Amino acid sequence: MTQWRQSHNTADRTGNKDGFHEDLIAADAAAHSQFSQVSGPSAEFREELKNRLVARAQTQRRAPKVVTVSTTWRWIGSAAAVVLLVGVMSLLPNNDPLRLPQREPSGDSGSVIETFQTENLTEAPDGSGMGVRTMMAAGNENESGKTAANLDTSPGTGVSEADAGVIAQAQVNYPAKVMGIAKVEVDGRVYWRVSLTRDGMGIPNRDDVLVDCQTGEPTLEMSAQ
């Protein structure tokens, strides 16, 4: 404070250091002088801290390069890109021959039921010209561990609602969830109409499968996608 007082008395000298107005230059110098009287660190502290810092710096230099935050973010970015890519891939049309039926006129019945021609299809036993996917195609084990082939689908015994769901799930090549089952009559025959949708993330695939209530023969209806 004494310094600032002196500077006030000797202010208005010439010069324009650091852009200060002339009458403040002396005050600026006085402030510098005043603060210079504040004590610095003790010699012991200064030396001790320096030694600790140098020792830490040596350890830091020797240590293997750790994964920095930026590297981590790069990894996260890569993972996100992969997830995106998978998402985009699943948006593309499915080229699985089992999934893309070749549609044909359904013959004289005028039924809405689609016909299919793949090696896994057989002609409908009633000779209606309606091709159906056979149980062989559904030989893969479904989620409940029950194979479609194990189901009792012999004529006359009838197919339960639950079995119809299992048969229908085996007809599609994606993890399917049964959304609803209803009994319908098509061309004088009774079917379970099983509505399926993709279970989990991905494209919302949706299919309806007709399962013959008597024989258990499945028929994939026109894809609802």
Which residues would be at the binding site for another protein (CB under 8 A)?
1, 4-5, 8, 18-21, 24, 27-28, 31-32, 34-35, 37-41, 45-46, 49-50, 52-58, 60-61
What's the min distance (Å) between Cβ of 80 and another protein?
25
CA distances from 72 to 63, 75, 81, 85 (A): 19, 5, 14, 20
What's the min distance (Å) between Cβ of 3 and another protein?
10
What is the rounded distance in angstroms from the CA atom of residue 37 to the CA atom of residue 25?
A: 19
What's the min distance (Å) between Cβ of 75 and another protein?
19
Backbone angles phi, psi at 193, to 5 degrees: -95, 115
Cα 159 to chain centroid distance, Å, stands at: 37
Q: Compare residues 59 and 95 and give the one whose CB is closer to another protein.
A: 59
What's the min distance (Å) between Cβ of 28 and another protein?
6
Q: Compare residues 69 and 88 and give the one whose CB is closer to another protein.
A: 69
Contacts of 82 (CB under 8 A, 6+ apart): none
Helices marked H in 161-204: 161-169
What's the min distance (Å) between Cβ of 197 and another protein?
51
What is the rounded distance in angstroms from the CA atom of residue 199 to the CA atom of residue 159?
A: 24
Q: Compare residues 49 and 83 and give the one whose CB is closer to another protein.
A: 49
Q: Compare residues 62 and 95 and give the one whose CB is closer to another protein.
A: 62
Q: Compare residues 34 and 122 and give the one whose CB is closer to another protein.
A: 34
Q: In the beta sheet, which residues pair with residue 131?
A: 123
What is the rounded distance in angstroms from the CA atom of residue 155 to the CA atom of residue 142?
A: 23
